[in-house]
């Protein structure tokens, strides 16, 4: 059965902290945010999960395989290392958008992100049945180096890649409840519900029609984000090898939702 476990990571009362007692140096904030993300990615990654930086003050992690104790340890460890604390909301559903909705609702019910009294909240119940799996889609822009990196200045390359990302993230969110995250270079990783190859092809066609950015995608399934993500990377290599736009690993290929 498909079940994605997502954890919303929210820095507690971060807005007020950034300006107390007066506005803090921007590069100090950037350093804090990126180190906090790096530590969360490492903690979650060691346990088979994926973490995405999204807006840095709010991050999203795929935490299939992590239990309540793991989440508490993450909070304790970050609280010991940083001048800020984090609250965590866990949500589980076959549809990633619904899972994130549940994760978010838990934190929102506990108080505002800028509520000085709401600290290190942990809401939601992780999956206890270890037989569930999830789906990861790894998207990549075709020939980004040749088309953009080696031809345009970095800002104009960035605009092209971001346009592709913005179009894809909205399409997958609205049409399927899939959640896409930019992970650097020309790569986008999406946590997706059960979708067939045709649905992925439609998504790629939509992005090309809308903004002229050509994508390919490898899709994998597995018990953890790491397992599904590695299968997706191998499927993406298969795209490169065969010149195809969409490749599903064997498990994902056996699953058709439409």
Ligand X SMILES: Nc1nc2c(ncn2[C@@H]2O[C@H](COP(=O)(O)OP(=O)(O)OP(=O)(O)O)[C@@H](O)[C@H]2O)c(=O)[nH]1
Name the residues that contact ligand X, by CB under 6 A: 140-146, 183-187, 233, 240
* Closer of 36 and 141 to ligand X (Cβ): 141
Q: Minimal distance in Å, beta carbon 25 to ligand X? A: 28
What the block records as the tokens of 131 is 């037989």
Q: Minimal distance in Å, beta carbon 13 to ligand X? A: 31
Q: Minimal distance in Å, beta carbon 140 to ligand X? A: 5
Is residue 78 within 8 A of residue 59, CB to CB? The reply is no
> Which residue from 114, 118, 119, 213 is spatially nearest to 168, judged by alpha carbons?
213
Distances (CA, A) of 245 to 164, 169, 178: 15, 18, 18
* Closer of 185 and 212 to ligand X (Cβ): 185
Q: Minimal distance in Å, beta carbon 181 to ligand X? A: 10
Residue 8, classed as helix, strand or coil, is strand
* Closer of 14 and 148 to ligand X (Cβ): 148
Contacts of 77 (CB under 8 A, 6+ apart): 39, 43
Instruction: Write b or e for each residue in 97-125: b if 16 or more Cβ atoms lie within 10 A of its Cβ, otherwise e.
Output: bbbbebbbebbeebbebeeeebbebbbbe
Residue, CB closest to ligand X? 185
Q: Minimal distance in Å, beta carbon 216 to ligand X? A: 7
């Amino acid at each position: 059965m498909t079940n994605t476990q997502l954890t919303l990571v929210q820095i507690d009362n971060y807005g007020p902290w950034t300006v107390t007692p007066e506005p803090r140096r921007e590069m100090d904030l950037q350093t804090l945010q990126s180190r906090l993300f790096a530590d969360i990615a490492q903690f979650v990654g060691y346990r088979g999960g994926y973490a995405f930086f999204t807006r840095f003050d709010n991050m999203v992690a795929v935490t299939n395989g992590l239990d309540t104790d793991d989440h508490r340890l993450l909070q304790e460890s970050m609280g010991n290392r940083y001048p800020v604390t984090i609250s965590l909301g866990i949500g589980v559903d076959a549809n990633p958008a619904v899972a994130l909705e549940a994760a978010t609702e838990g934190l929102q019910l506990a108080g505002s992100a800028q509520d000085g009294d709401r600290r290190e909240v942990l809401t939601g119940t992780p999956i206890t049945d270890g037989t569930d799996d999830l789906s990861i889609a790894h998207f990549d822009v075709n020939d980004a180096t040749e088309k953009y990196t080696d031809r345009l200045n970095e800002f104009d390359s960035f605009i092209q890649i971001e346009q592709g990302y913005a179009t894809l993230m909205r399409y997958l969110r609205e049409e399927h409840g899939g959640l896409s995250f930019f992970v650097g270079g020309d790569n986008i990783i999406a946590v997706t519900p059960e979708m067939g190859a045709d649905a992925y092809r439609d998504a790629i066609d939509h992005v090309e029609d809308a903004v002229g950015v050509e994508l390919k995608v490898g899709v994998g399934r597995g018990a953890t984000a790491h397992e599904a993500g590695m299968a997706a990377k191998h499927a993406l290599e298969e795209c490169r090898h065969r010149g195809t736009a969409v490749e599903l690993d064997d498990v994902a290929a056996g699953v058709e939702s439409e």
